Amino acid sequence: MHFLDQAKIYIRSGAGGPGAVSFRREKYVEYGGPDGGNGGKGGDIVFEAVPGLNTLIDFRYTQHFKAQRGVHGSGKNRNGAAGKDLVIKVPIGTQIISDEDGETVLADLTEAGQRVILLEGGMGGRGNASYKTSTNRAPRQHQPGIPFEEMYVWLRLKLLADVGLVGLPNAGKSTFINQITNTKAKVGDYAFTTLRPQLGVVRHKNREFVLADIPGLIAGAAEGAGVGDRFLGHIERCRVLIHLIDINGTDPAEALEIVEDELAAYGEGLDEKPRLIALNKIDTVDRELVNAFIKELKAAGADKIYPISGATGKGMTALLNAVTTFLPAATGTERPAGEQEEGDDTPWSPV
């Protein structure tokens, strides 16, 4: 399935049905009179967040949505039927944005089952029977019904994940997410193997959380370099970010600075989120070099460094333990503090 995180659509609610102008005509009935019924209400445009969707690709092929109009009234005081509401199902995390300025958020659907009525259908018009009075015995007035509402809106998907994974291209993010989740992200020895966000579920010590991997950032991403910063919106809702740094890169300290600058340039509070710095691919170098780069990263402003290997899993336990401290309290029974889990690699504890 192709990934699409924004789409522009046209929506229109249903118009109200017109009221009827009718007069009673029955054999053997001495007195007639107005009996025109009211028109039915038009259908609403409703957006609903549903689980199981993680892309807006359906809106590339279907872009016009129109609710049913109300049925007109008729004689014998018969009111018209209301038009059916049109329910548009979108992924959880979808924002509905005004097309006028491209910035105003009309609705933000962040929970499964959440609904919002964006456009209301027009009210049905009154039939002439409702205008009858003691002095106006044969009214011919009626209402045509309230017209429909219409607009263009942008749908923008911001994935809901607990943890976000950032770093320069080829920092090993795809290998990392493949190691700790069931995701099968593409891995290659060239930059930008990841061209769209990836989601994976991590299970660690009776805890579950969702990890989001986005395409790598490069210097100038905020100005559109590389794939730009368009995918940073998918980690805006994360509780904590993991910044992955390649120990084989030209300068890990410079890599740290580049990504930090791009997060700050993007804004939206990303530069204020807690970050865990992970020095990746330690299986390819000796410990002396690892310690040297850790000192450089600390000198560049990093607080605590987690040496890891996405390929072998070394150091992952300490990093995931740190991640769980930023998540809501677990409902299950966790392993007591200090008890070593199978696969723990204590020699590579964070420093």
Q: Where are the domains of the chain?
A: 6-157, 163-348
User: What residues are designated binding site for GTP?
Assistant: 167-174, 192-196, 213-216, 280-283, 309-311
**In the predicted model, is pLDDT for residue 242 greater than 90?**
yes
Distances (CA, A) of 72 to 17, 44, 147, 348: 4, 17, 13, 75
Full DSSP string of 250-262? S-HHHHHHHHHHH
Q: What's the pLDDT band for 220 if we cut at 50, 70, 90? A: low
**In the predicted model, is pLDDT for residue 44 greater than 60?**
yes
So what's the pLDDT on residue 160? 80
Are 269 and 232 in contact, with CB atoms under 8 Å apart? no
Top-confidence residue, 350 or 292: 292
% the chain with pLDDT above 70? 85
Note the CATH architecture for domain 163-348. 3-Layer(aba) Sandwich (3.40)
**In the predicted model, is pLDDT for residue 194 greater than 70?**
no
Q: What are φ and ψ of residue 10, in 5° steps?
A: -110, 130
Q: Which class for 72: exposed (0-12), middle (13-18), buried (19 or more C-beta within 10 A)?
A: buried
User: What residues are designated binding site for Mg(2+)?
Assistant: 174, 194
Q: What is the pTM of this model?
A: 0.75
So what's the pLDDT on residue 347? 47
Please state the CATH superfamily assignment of the domain spanning residues 6-157 in this structure: GTP1/OBG domain (2.70.210.12)
Q: What is the mean pLDDT of the chain?
A: 84
The CA dihedral of 93, 98, 103, 106, to the nearest 10 degrees, is: -50
**In the predicted model, is pLDDT for residue 191 greater than 50?**
no
**In the predicted model, is pLDDT for residue 199 greater than 90?**
no
**In the predicted model, is pLDDT for residue 333 greater than 70?**
no
So what's the pLDDT on residue 177? 87
Q: What's the pLDDT band for 339 if we cut at 50, 70, 90? A: very low
Please report which helix (H) or strand (E) contains residue 108, including its range. strand 105-109
Question: Which tokens hold the place of 144?
Answer: 């045509």
**In the predicted model, is pLDDT for residue 16 greater than 70?**
yes
Beta-carbon count within 10 A of 122 CB: 25
User: What residues are designated binding site?
Assistant: 167-174, 192-196, 213-216, 280-283, 309-311
Q: What's the pLDDT band for 346 if we cut at 50, 70, 90? A: very low
Buried b / exposed e over 89-116, threshold 16 CB at 10 Å, is: ebbbbbbbbeeeeeeeeebbbeeeebee
Top-confidence residue, 193 or 265: 265
Sequence-distant (≥ 6) Cβ neighbours of residue 124 within 8 angstroms: 16, 17, 18, 19, 38, 39, 40, 41, 42, 70, 73, 79, 80, 82, 145, 146
Q: Which one of 112-116, 211-215, 324-328 scores highest in mean pLDDT? A: 112-116
Are 128 and 142 in contact, with CB atoms under 8 Å apart? yes
**Tens-digit pLDDT profile for residues 29-42:** 777 889 999 999 99
Q: For the chain, what's the residue count?
A: 351
